[in-house]
Structure 1
Amino acid sequence: MSAVAETFASRHGSAPTGVWFAPGRVNLIGEHTDYNDGFVLPFALPQRAVVAAAPASGARSRVRSVQEPGAAVEFSAATVVPGEVPGWAAYVAGTCWAFREAGYPLGEVELELDSDVPVGAGLSSSAAVECAVGVALAGLAGSRIGPTELARIARRAENEFVGAPTGGMDQMASMHGREGRLVFLDTRDDRVELVPFDLPAHGLELLVVDTRAPHAHAGGEYGARRADCEAAAAALGVAALRDAGPQDLERIGDERIRRRARHVVTENARVLEVVRLLSGGADPRAIGPLLDASHTSMRDDFEITVPHVDVAVEAARDGGAAGARMTGGGFGGCVIALADTDRVPAVTAAVTAAYAERGWTEPVVFAGTPSPGAGRLL
């Protein structure tokens, strides 16, 4: 029995009906393109949220989290609405609400939640919780719901219940992840293609550097970037920046809006080129310059990096990485670095030393390994 199942059994005096999981994700490339109907290329991580669940014996649902000591949070899954449940439990209650709104059968539930996805690191800890709860609700109800539909339910919870204006990449990666594969997603129609990413076969490793910088879409900056993109699309007369090309950018009069659009247009092109290279059997080292270019674009055109991530990227390159970039929504979070296996110690040491020189908290470095998407454990 898993640890969360044992915790559930000790609290309730009986085993859960089942245990379900959903992973966090790292985005290899394709930042802020998802809400522009563009292309993204994430993969699911080994780190995941795990939910032990059973039908509730009473008239209300209850959820506890190992990471949030204290009393259970209670709500009615049958009637809960946005704004009713605050804090961390909003991701759980919101998924129940979105599941119900989608027309699927939903009873009151007892949930025990645990997660080893780092919170605030830009690795989609919230999407992991939403998707884990989603697959648990489907399992308890006996509903056969496909991964894309469950991802849409989880995204609606995040957008409309929690109020975070994110795209759908995080939930789709969590649901569709596969060992040794990247999830190439066309966000316009949610079409998924799995792309090979067997780094060990090429003597490579993808390092994830948790910069430990506070990761928050501070001051509404995430929403501001989204509004800039909408303004750019309106200036060009297109439905979304997915429909624009480099030749269109000079038609945008506002210099800031033009730079925002340039990032999205060039980032989409970089995603497609990475997919072309990897699908064609190229040495993955060939994508290094595209990772570098993506970071430069996020730093200069989209202005979403912070000193912690810029220093980590530069140090990783100095240490011998073939390419490095910030990953995630920005303003903190994680950096990824593609490196030869024998260069991993040097890359790690270079980043750690750069932080020590500045008196910053030591970063956490681990290998990012494409892993299975959401499912049932027990």
Structure 2
Amino acid sequence: MTGWHDPSPEVEAAERARRLFTATFGGRAEGVWSAPGRVNLIGEHVDYAGGVCLPFALPHRTYVAVRARSDQRLHVVSDQAGQPWAGRIAEIAPGRPHGWAAYLAGVAWAMQRDGLAGAAGRGVDAAVTSDVPVGAGLSSSAALECALAVALADLYGPGSGEPDDPVRSRIAAACVRAENEIALAATGGMDQTVALRARAGQCLRLDCSDDTDRAVRRLLLDLPAHGLDLLVINTNAPHRLVDGRYRSRRAAVEHAARLLGVPTLRAVASVAQARAGLHAVGETDPVLLARVRHVVTEIRRATAAGDALADGRVRDLAPLLDSSHASLRDDYEVSCPELDSAVDAARGAGALGARMTGGGFGGSAIALVTRSDVSAVAEAVTLAAARRALAAPSFLRAVPSAAAGRSDAPAAPA
């Protein structure tokens, strides 16, 4: 049987977070804030190389019910984690705490240091519920970070603003700092940017050549108007970015940029130029060249995809998705048997194009599918996984959705 993962209605999800809050902390939360997961259409592993990527927000969201504290303590609980965590914000440090709580603790730590959460000495109680699949490569960690970040900005700081407000770039930078420095995940800033700056019905074209304020261009993404759907295939293979493999890919890309004497690989015009530059300094490692080849060609693919969307040529995305997956599988080596099975089966069942999405090493794939073929493609992917004795996949439809913000009205006074 094919399994579908649908988002909860926002009102129901916010109430679920409120109930968890009351059961854990007593009393009432001051409000509920939420942030979306995301899917990246194309432009994978290039955000930290100054590249171009095309993500959009999912309707699946993480909800955080929050109440201010008068001390400098953070108390957090999640309905998807075993034990709550509590500690002083001043004691938060790289790798402490570890696990899921690091993403929330890191946000509280970074927001205070960056002047976005008021003076030191202010903490929060926070209860988390989520519809974003964990470990699926759909940015559950950034959704967690950004939901708490907008809450802190609204409660203690300058306010979280709207998606185009400059404060959102500052909040995104704080969330990236939390993930890099406290959770110790060497990710780029794409996930936090889309969680905070997305708009319903649109895909973002992010130019990551400026790390301090990624240039955002909004592109209409109305797949139903073209008779299409974007099917997300959660392979349910374990997806971990803190085990060193993601970090090693980023380190290789940054090492190559240093050898080539450029700030990022965005400045490299072609694979031939990169090869010549590396050979000129005595670097002939074929693995390093393969990593560079992926980044340079993926930036080119993402740029072409953005142009296609701007021109309304949605079906032209299909071959770009296919070549992106081949590059991620062969040159960047971040795919896995579950992802390859899903992509191959989707194409075999009629998908126009398909690729892995997210950091890789498990997680999800996406398939551009004619609307009438969605069920058949999902069934074919499920059967292929069963034949290979792989985990049963689950599915969701990717609908461009709204950014982080408040998900309920303020509670009435007691």
User: Does TM, normalized by the shorter one, top 0.5?
Assistant: yes
**1:162-173 alignment runs, 5 A limit:** 162-173=183-194
Match of 2:63 in 1: 50
Give the alignment's Cα RMSD to 1 decimal: 1.6
Matched, 1:201 2:225: yes
Matching of residues 82-93 of structure 1 within 5 Å? 82-93=94-105
Q: CA deviation at 1:78?
A: 4.8
Partner residue in 2 for 1:232: 256
Alignment check: 8 A CA contact 2:60 2:131 kept: yes
Letter in 2 for 1:129: L
Q: Which residue of 2 aligns with 1:216?
A: 240
Q: Please, what TM-score do these two structures have when normalized by structure 2?
A: 0.87
- Letter of the aligned partner of 2:18 in structure 1? A
Whether the 8 Å contact between 1:51 and 1:112 is mirrored in structure 2 is yes
Shift of residue 69, structure 1, vs aligned partner: 3.5
1:26 aligns with 39
Residue number among 110, 129, 146 corresponding to 1:114 in the alignment: 129
**Residue of structure 1 aligned with 2:274, choices 242, 245, 249:** 249
CA deviation map 1:91-139 (0-9, x unaligned) = 1111000001102305111111111211111111111100001001111
* CA 1:13–1:232: 2 relative to 1, 3 Å: closer
User: Which segments of 5 or more consecutive residues in structure 2 lack a partner in the other structure?
Assistant: 1-13, 161-166, 279-283, 409-414
TM-score by length of 1: 0.96
Match of residue 372 from structure 1: 402
Q: Name the CA distance, whole Å, in 1 between partners of 2:241 and 2:82.
A: 25
Q: Indicate the residue corresponding to 1:150 in structure 2.
A: 171
How far did residue 58 of structure 1 move?
Answer: 5.3
- Compared CA separation, residues 237 and 11, structure 1 to 2 (3 A): closer
Deviations along 1:312-337, one digit per CA (max 9) or x if unpaired, are 10110001001000001111110000
Which secondary structure state, in structure 1, belongs to the residue aligned with residue 366 of structure 2?
Answer: strand
Q: How far apart are the structure 2 equivalents of 1:69 and 1:216?
A: 19
SS at match of 2:100: helix
Q: Is the 1:78–1:108 contact (alpha carbons within 8 Å) kept by the matching residues of 2?
A: no
- Where 1:68 maps in the other structure, the secondary structure is coil
Distance 1:354 1:124, change over 3 A: same
- Equivalent residue for 1:353? 383
Of 280, 291, 295, the residue aligned with 1:260 is: 291
SS of residue matched to 2:216: strand
1:159-215 Cα shifts (integer Å, max 9, x gaps):
011111110011111111111111111112211111111001111100000011111
Distance (Å, rounded) in 2 between the aligned partners of 1:263 and 1:307: 19
Which residues of 2 match residues 311-330 of structure 1 at below 5 A? 311-330=341-360
- Tell me the CA shift for residue 342 of structure 1: 0.6
Q: CA deviation at 1:14?
A: 2.9
The answer to whether residue 116 in structure 2 is matched with residue 95 in structure 1 is no
Q: Which one of the candidate residues 286, 301, 304 is aligned to 1:273?
A: 304
Give the whole-Å Cα distance in 1 for the aligned partners of 2:154 and 2:320: 41
Mapping of 1:179-198 within 5 angstroms? 179-189=200-210, 190-198=214-222
Number of residue pairs matched by the alignment: 376
